[in-house]
Structure 1
Amino acid sequence: MITPAFELTQDPDFLTIIIRVPYAKASEFDVFVEGEDFRFYAKPYFLRLTLPGRIVEDGREKASYNTDEGTFTILLPKEIPGQYFEGLDMLTSLLTPKKSRSAKPLVEEIGASAELSEEEEQEFDLEIEQIPYKESAESIPPLQCPYGFGNLRSGAFQRLQDELSDVIDIKDPDQTPAGERRRKRLEAEAAKFDPDHYLADFFEDEAIQHVLKYKPWWVDAHKKMTALKGKNQDKGNSAAGVVFSDAEREKLRKFTNKSYLLDKSSRHHIYLGLIDILLAYCYEICVNEGDNNVESSWNIRKLSATLCWLESFTSIHDVLVSFGRRVLCYPLYRHFGLVTRALSDTVMILQLGKAAVLKCLLDIHKIFVESDDPAYILNDLFITDYCIWIQKIKSKKLAALSESLQKTALTKSHLGLELEELEAAAVLVLEEENMLKAAGTVSKQQLPESETSDSEESSSTSSSETEGSDSDERESSTSEDGEINSFQGTLPGERTAPLSDCNGLRQGTNTSALEVSDGKSKVSGQSPSQTGKLIEELEKQMHSTMRLSEQPEGLATASCMAQEQKENQKPEPDRVSEDTSGKDNFLELSSKPNPLLFLCSTNEDED
């Protein structure tokens, strides 16, 4: 809190306290009087005095506020009329709080269950230390840089810098010239610009396109004005459709009438500052669709370099460039379409005349007053003076200003943020990602075919591995069948295959065929006694085969399977033929193929 400058005077019946609180929130102040205690509060100022005499509140007290000088004058009646208060000029002793006469222990025990209520925790410390304000030639810096409406103010932030650090971005504006402010502002904007945020709003702009469809009140008013101009070719009523509310009229009545002595340069700065403030206001109305919220004050002052950096522009193009850069650096929605939309809205407002401009300024004034932060300081520096000044200018000045604003072009390249290069690079990246995705989709579509072929190859490989012996046997049997069929060309039947499957002679037959194909020396080497034994064994096997063929198909198959299992437990004839253990009957069987095949085929035909 800041201790304000004050002075006290007296007469026999009243004590007069004059408190100087420039740029205070005069609409909200509090005065407390009780005996010798006097307290005054108007954010960000606080004053507590211990008076040398007692005062009372009996209905005769009065208070007034001078907006030009920024001073409160409070008239308080004395409890004892005619009493003389000594030491009213001893400011340090008046600021010293009255000591309590009750002795308190240095250490006090507080119970575990004792807790402070929220009201006690949030209670303002009335015993805060106060430092008397001294205004001397040494405390005033030699350089005072002007700012505010028409650059008519200076020194406003000398003692309020800590309180207003959230309102303006420039540090120590009283000692910073206009050129240095502009340089620091451009550096801050360049550091704040976020390419990712900008590209996100550039490519995903559904919410932005939605707010761009909102139509504020001046759109309908502009249509009405255009319709009236169409009917009356000479001139139209620019104020048509602009209606002030009762609260706005009441606020206009409270403004103090002023006269401004402005040179040409000051008027030029005022017009450009007005454009800058209206652009920020139009952006705020568009993105929030006409509903003010807690961020409205921040949006307006942050997007306006006039309010946030105390900037003094020299051309309309500089105003547009500054506004465009700040839109793409600070708010939630950072889209160039919002910049052009605010520009067109500002042109409409200026074409509607000073009534529409005044209505917008009154709304800005209200937003700053109701803000939680000390944005009201900007009302005292700019908005209040704009509201008073705009009522006295001629409408043709605003018409000329809107025409100049329409002729001023603004492109992305003017903003100095390399937006076009950034967008082109982002488009190339997206195209490359789309190509990669398309290639990935094609590969995924082709993947099942390759997997199928791989599975087929693996299955064929596994089948070839598991059926290696069978495949070899099939190949040999195929070639052997060809040789057997050619060898049996004069035989009347081909039912030897079922016969050999059931009695287990398939392998023996194949073996004999292989042996026959390999050479006939073994046949010729057999003795006649061995041939007789072979015929006897063959007759026995044929009788058993005939009995199996007469059975039903299922029983025959079962018996065949059982017989095959028994035969599998025995050594295979071809393998036994390689054994030298002395089983001559199998060797004799494999070495006598011709009678065997002939007898088998004739017996099958008889069946």
Structure 2
Amino acid sequence: MITPAFELSQDAESLTIAIRVPYARVSEFEVYFEGVDFKFYAKPYFLRLTLPGRIVENGEEDGSYDVDKGIFTLRMYKETPGEHFEGLNMLTSLLASKKSRSAKPLVEVTGSSELPGESKEDEEEDFDWEIEQSPYEELTESDLNAQCHYGFGNLRTGVFKRLQDELSDVIDLKDPDSTSLGERRQKRLAAEESKFDPDHYLADYFEDEAIRKILKYKPWWTIAFAKMMASPERNQEQNNQETFQVSFSKEENYQLLKFTNKSYLLDKRAQYHVYYGLIDILLAYCYEIRVTEGESNVESAWNIRKLSGTLSWFESWNNVHEILVSFGRRVLCYPLYRHFKLVTKAHIDTVKILQLGRSAILKCLLDIHKIFQENDPAYILNDLYISDYCVWIQKVKSRKLASLGETLQRTYLTKGQLGLEIEELESAALLVQGEETESQVPCSISSQQLSGFDSLTKDSAKPDAISSSSKTEDLSVDRAKPADHEGGKVNYLEENATSITDSLEFCLKPDIRTYDVGQEKPVTSSQSPRVSAPLIIELEEKMETESQPSQQCGTSAVDEGKQPT
């Protein structure tokens, strides 16, 4: 049997399903629906769905078949008029569960539409996004080997024993099957320390024309987020975030139909790891989309997996801040463009995607899946992470994603927290640049004074009849000197406009300890309660824009000072 392509839509009273069944006979259509169950059969097509709400047969339903397009359309009525059916575009979760064909130790539960770990009581409690700590216990070697898991929810192990030849081309971790979580982190930090290049960083810091262009790029989620915020009904529960801003293409719908619907046995700690891994992967994806301006290339798969500690080192995270620290370090160590503003932009983009809801997240994951699938051997990461994320995200409650987005939004990252000493590096470079600029300014003034002195010497040798006119000229020269000096000051500001703008963040980001959402103890993050990260970026861009008219004025002042008297 073939599972046909289908789409669902709704209004206040009814639910409409459009099923594409080309070359099917109208006389062989069979439809059954009751409650949340829907079945459709037209040889060789068969479709069985578990709907997110109940429908009822009341005699008013109607159907039609477009022979030219091969689309069968059926309109059914809701049991409770006015009820909003959530997740109609989550096609994989609507399909009935199939028998598992996955290799162990990945555990799945078929025939269930909800996560086993998410009971009603768990749904009601507030997520604090902080993993519970347990006392340290000395472990034996066998216990350590048993803990070397990775993949979605840390449910995989032993995979790379069979893939040693392709291992080095996919991840940075050499032996994941025998490397504990603590050892992975130590090796990752050491690799980043050795990879950081101060010359490359300073080159991008001062010569940032290409980076400024990248920062102005607006990905699709920026537009969708603006529409959501402008919507007058955005606070109403019926206006679900994932239904009206984000839509899927035919290719993406086809991707969804190819996934196997399953539920995962995840304890509370594993659920935290999955949520945090999602943030880490989205941060890397947002950076990639921005630097390529939405056009993926042969390096896209490398960029995403290299910037994500989850994908390249099989890291498991304990809080949001350490995810941002890892991402920031890797941005400044590995890709072509290494600038801290790109880290902040990716941070803001990820917050927007999370606030848009499941559809936006799923759309990003489908794009990552496509990029990895077309790259050999990055497709292994689809089997380990992305495919399971695409299925799992369709069943996540929107309230949890909103809570995760708020936590990420309130967690800020500063340069000093990266541990790469880039603040000291920038200060030293700016000091050297300031000394060089100051040494050039007196030279220009002294040359002007010398030219004025020469004119005075020549005028003193002229006859008395011309002395009066020469005095007038001398006065005009004297008047021009302040203008020349003023022009020198403007030139100095022009040459250091970028430096002054970039150093603005030191004034706007005081070192203030803040609190992560859901925890009473302060986290190691620097955050200003008055000035947020997006506001800092807007202020910097405004300063850069306002510096352009002053540059033009400075140029005219210098030109006037150079005019012959």
Q: Report the TM-score, using the length of structure 2 for normalisation.
A: 0.53
Describe the superposition over 1:119-147 as per-residue Cα deviations: whole angstroms up to 9, x where unpaired: xxxxxxxxxxxxxxxxxxxxxx9656101
State whether structure 2 residue 294 is matched by structure 1 residue 290.
yes
Residues 1:156 and 2:190 aligned together: no
For 2:419, the aligned partner's letter is G
1:45-124 to structure 2, matched below 5 A, reads 68-69=102-103
1:220 CA drift (Å):
1.5
Partner of 1:124: none
> Aligned letter for 2:427?
A
Deviation at 1:380, TM superposition (A): 0.3
Identity of aligned residues (%): 65
Q: 1:143 to 1:395 in 2, by over 3 A?
A: closer
2-structure distance, mates of 1:231, 1:313: 32
Q: Quick check: 1:222–1:348 contact (8 Å CA) kept in 2?
A: yes
Q: Secondary structure at the match of 2:395?
A: coil
The equivalent residue for 1:179 is 182
Paired residue type of 1:410: L
- Cα distance per residue 1:473-509 (max 9 Å; x no partner): xxxxxxxxxxxxxxxxxxxxxxxxxxxxxxxxxxxxx
Say if 1:198 and 1:328, in contact at 8 Å, map to a contact too.
yes
1:189 deviates by: 0.6
Paired residues for 1:352-363 under 5 Å:
352-363=356-367
CA offsets per residue over residues 166-199 of structure 1, 9 Å max, x none? 2100111111100000001001111111111111
Alpha-carbon separation, structure 1, partners of 2:154 and 2:454: 79
- 2:255 aligned residue (239, 248, 251): 251
- The question of 1:347 aligning with 2:381 is answered no
Cα contact 1:167–1:375 (8 A) shared by 2:
yes
- The one of 336, 339, 354 aligned to 2:340: 336
Aligned to 2:370: 366
| Aligned match of 1:37 | none
- What code does the residue aligned with 1:301 have? R
d(CA) in 1 for partners of 2:192 and 2:370? 28
Q: Is 1:168–2:202 an aligned residue pair?
A: no
Task: Supply the AA of the counterpart residue of 2:395.
Answer: K
Check the 8 A contact 1:229/1:236 in 2, yes or no. Answer: no
Over residues 554-604 of structure 1, what are the superposed CA-to-partner deviations in whole Å (9 max), with x where a residue is unaligned? xxxxxxxxxxxxxxxxxxxxxxxxxxxxxxxxxxxxxxxxxxxxxxxxxxx
Q: Distance in 2 between matches of 1:389 and 1:231?
A: 25
- Output the amino acid matched with 2:102: D
Partner of 1:412: 415
Structure 1: distance between partners of 2:230 and 2:329: 36
Q: For the residues of structure 2 that align with 1:375 and 1:444, how far apart are their CA atoms?
A: 63
Within 5 Å, give how 1:90-489 maps onto structure 2: 145-230=148-233, 233=236, 236-239=239-242, 240-371=244-375, 373-441=376-444
Return the offset for 1:68. 1.1
Structure 2 letter corresponding to 1:183: Q
Q: Distance in 2 between matches of 1:229 and 1:369?
A: 40
In structure 2, what is the Cα distance between the partners aligned to 1:232 and 1:273? 28
Q: For the residues of structure 1 that align with 2:235 and 2:321, how far apart are their CA atoms? A: 34
**Partner secondary structure for residue 388 of structure 1:** helix
Q: Which residue of 2 aligns with 1:24?
A: none
Relative distance call for 1:380 and 1:67 in structure 2 (3 A) is farther
Matched ranges for 1:446-595 at <5 A: none
Distance 1:235 1:66, change over 3 A: closer
* CA deviation vs aligned residue, 1:54-74 (integer Å, no higher than 9, x gap): xxxxxxxxxxx985139xxxx
- Does the 8 Å CA contact 1:225/1:236 hold for their aligned counterparts? no
Q: Distance in 2 between matches of 1:214 and 1:396?
A: 29
Cα–Cα, structure 1 residues 367 and 336, in superposed 2: closer, same or farther, change >3 Å?
same
CA distance in 1, matches of 2:366, 2:254: 11
Contact 1:67/1:256 (<8 A) preserved: no
Change (3 A) 1:67 1:338: farther
The structure whose Rg is larger is 1
1:277-317 Cα distance to aligned partner (Å, 9 max, x none): 00000000111110010111011000000000000011100
Following TM superposition, the consecutive aligned residue runs of length 4 or more in structure 1 with deviations greater than 4 angstroms are: 141-144, 229-235, 439-452
**1:164 CA drift (Å):** 2.2
Secondary structure at the residue paired with 1:157? helix
Q: Cα distance 1:447–1:164, how it changes in 2: closer, same or farther (>3 A)?
A: farther
Secondary structure at 1:331 match in 2: coil
Task: Identify which range, 288-297 or 413-422, moves more after superposition.
Answer: 413-422
- Residues in 2 aligned to 1:152 and 1:368: alpha-carbon distance in whole angstroms: 20
Q: Report the residue type matching 1:409 in the other structure.
A: Y
Going from structure 1 to structure 2, the CA distance change for 1:142 and 1:193 (only over 3 Å counts) comes to closer
Deviation at 1:153, TM superposition (A): 0.3
1:438 CA drift (Å)? 2.9
Matched-pair contact (CA < 8 Å) for 2:228–2:234: no
In structure 2, relative to structure 1, the CA distance for the partners of 1:252 and 1:209 (3 Å cut) is: same
SS in structure 1 at match of 2:413: coil
Q: 1:388 to 1:167 in 2, by over 3 A?
A: same
Query: Secondary structure at 1:280's aligned position in 2?
Result: helix
In structure 1, the gaps of 5 or more residues are 1-64, 71-140, 453-607
CA distance in 2, matches of 1:444, 1:206: 33
Residues 303 and 335 in structure 2, CA contact (< 8 A), matched pair in contact too: yes
Cα drift, residue 447 of structure 1? 8.1
Q: SS of the counterpart of 2:263?
A: coil
One-letter amino acid matched to 1:350: L
Query: Normalising by the residue count of structure 1, what TM-score does the alignment of the two structures yield?
Result: 0.50
Shifted more, 229-238 versus 274-283: the winner is 229-238
How far, CA to CA, are the matches of 1:277 and 1:303 in structure 2? 8
Q: CA offsets per residue over residues 294-346 of structure 1, 9 Å max, x none?
A: 11101100000000000001110000000011011111111111111111111
**1:222-259 alpha-carbon deviations (Å, 9 max, x no partner):** 12222335566556330222111111111111111111
| Alignment RMSD (CA, Å) | 2.6
Aligned length: 319
* Counterpart secondary structure, 1:243: coil
CA apart distance, 1:204: 1.6
Shift of 1:213: 0.9
Counterpart CA distance in 1 for 2:416 and 2:393 is: 34
